[in-house]
């Protein structure tokens, strides 16, 4: 059964570790992530962008697939199905379809409008027992057509959003979706510390988890980050493993053209990437 992300994140925040949000794109990814969470006795959050939801045939398909896998694979660790960077309408649709957690990303609105819209989503979501993530100060880079300039979030704006009763807060601290440029300045820990001071025990969310050095991840967790989003790193490992299989001509040998065989190495690569992240984030055996 899908659960809200609230309880797992409160526990992570208290226990000084982070729960990984791994974005899904298809059945193989979803299955790989769920099995890895179970094998490592780790809570997990499956992230779905609106674009990925469309690609998979719509939110209802995603909910049906995930619930089916949880039941048939005997997944007993806590799993949240979370809308990633949702629009207001997208958030409503995902709740209707059966998502257990919602990110409403109003960071591109003026703060007043972000507050009003976030409040609207919280009211509906909490009525249904679903958790809500809000965002202040956009995350840099581009993800599925959502482009952010990479602002550093203002601590007092974070406080205003936190006081609405969100369950987790994404705050821009120099993090970027996708790969980091060589001249990247790193995470802004001063900003993170100010946000932590302003928001009390709020579980903070670090987007753009791909390519952040391990010591920065650990420092971020020590400053209140309880959820870390990873997408590009799974895409890279999946693509590399698939390319290796094809370039070695394995698809031309025996029954190597079987799609279940072609996607096999990528499936294993995602499992390895997710396991490494769960170990780094400290969520192993925290289910």
Q: Which residues are catalytic?
A: 84
User: Which range, of 124-132, 182-190, 193-201, 203-211, touches ligand 13P by CB under 6 A?
Assistant: 203-211
Rounded to a whole number of angstroms, the minimum distance from the CB of residue 260 to ligand 13P is 27
Q: Which of 19, 38, 46, 47 binds ligand 13P (CB under 6 A)?
A: 47
CB nearer to ligand 13P: pick between 13 and 177: 177
107 binds ligand 13P (CB under 6 A): no
Rounded to a whole number of angstroms, the minimum distance from the CB of residue 207 to ligand 13P is 3
Q: Which of 50, 84, 133, 154 binds ligand 13P (CB under 6 A)?
A: 84
CB nearer to ligand 13P: pick between 30 and 245: 30
210 binds ligand 13P (CB under 6 A): yes
Separation CA 231–CA 24 (nearest Å):
8
51 binds ligand 13P (CB under 6 A): no
Phi and psi at 132, nearest 5°, equal -130, 135
Q: Tell me the CA end-to-end span of the chain in Å, nearest whole number.
A: 14
CB nearer to ligand 13P: pick between 239 and 248: 239
Counting every residue written for the chain, the total comes to: 287
CB nearer to ligand 13P: pick between 196 and 210: 210
> Is residue 170 within a helix (H) or strand (E), and if so which, with residue range?
strand 168-171
82 binds ligand 13P (CB under 6 A): no
177 binds ligand 13P (CB under 6 A): yes
Q: Which residue, 107, 65, 104, is CA-closest to 82?
A: 104
Phi and psi at 180, nearest 5°, equal -85, 140
SS3 24: coil
Task: Give alpha helix (H) positions in the chain.
Answer: 6-15, 27-39, 50-55, 59-72, 88-97, 111-127, 155-162, 189-199, 214-222, 232-247, 259-262, 264-281
Separation CA 58–CA 116 (nearest Å):
27
207 binds ligand 13P (CB under 6 A): yes
Rounded to a whole number of angstroms, the minimum distance from the CB of residue 132 to ligand 13P is 15
Q: Which of 105, 133, 157, 233 binds ligand 13P (CB under 6 A)?
A: 233
Rounded to a whole number of angstroms, the minimum distance from the CB of residue 45 to ligand 13P is 10
231 binds ligand 13P (CB under 6 A): yes
120 binds ligand 13P (CB under 6 A): no
Using the CB atoms, write b or e for 75-89: b if 16+ within 10 Å: bebbbbbbbbbbbee
Residue 130 near residue 99, CB atoms below 8 Å:
yes
The residues binding ligand 13P (CB under 6 A) are: 23, 47, 84, 143, 177-178, 207-210, 229-233
């Amino acid at each position: 059964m899908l659960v809200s992300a609230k309880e797992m994140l409160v526990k992570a925040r208290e226990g000084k570790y982070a729960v990984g949000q791994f974005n899904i794109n298809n059945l193989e990814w979803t299955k790989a992530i769920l099995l890895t969470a179970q094998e490592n006795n780790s809570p997990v959050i499956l992230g779905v962008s609106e674009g990925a939801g469309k690609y998979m045939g719509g939110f209802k398909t995603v909910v049906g697939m995930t619930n089916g896998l949880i039941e048939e694979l005997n997944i007993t660790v806590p799993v949240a199905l979370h809308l990633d960077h949702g629009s207001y309408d997208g958030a409503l649709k995902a709740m209707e379809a059966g998502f257990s957690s919602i990110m409403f990303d109003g960071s591109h609105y003026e703060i007043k409008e972000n507050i009003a819209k976030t409040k609207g989503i919280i009211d509906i979501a909490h009525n249904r027992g679903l958790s809500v993530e809000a965002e202040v100060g956009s995350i840099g880079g581009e993800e599925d057509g959502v482009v952010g300039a990479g602002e550093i979030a203002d601590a007092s704006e974070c406080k205003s959003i936190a006081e609405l009763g969100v369950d987790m807060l994404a705050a821009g601290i120099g993090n970027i979706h996708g790969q980091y440029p060589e001249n990247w300045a790193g995470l802004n820990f001063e900003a993170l510390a100010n946000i932590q001071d302003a928001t009390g025990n709020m579980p903070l969310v670090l987007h753009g988890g791909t390519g952040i050095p391990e010591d920065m991840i650990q420092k971020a967790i020590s400053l209140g980050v309880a959820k870390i989003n990873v997408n590009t790193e799974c895409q890279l490992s999946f693509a590399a493993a698939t390319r290796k299989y094809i370039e070695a001509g394995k698809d031309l040998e025996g029954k190597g053209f079987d799609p279940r065989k072609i996607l096999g190495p990528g499936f294993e690569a995602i499992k390895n990437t997710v396991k490494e992240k769960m170990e780094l984030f400290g969520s192993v055996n925290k289910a």
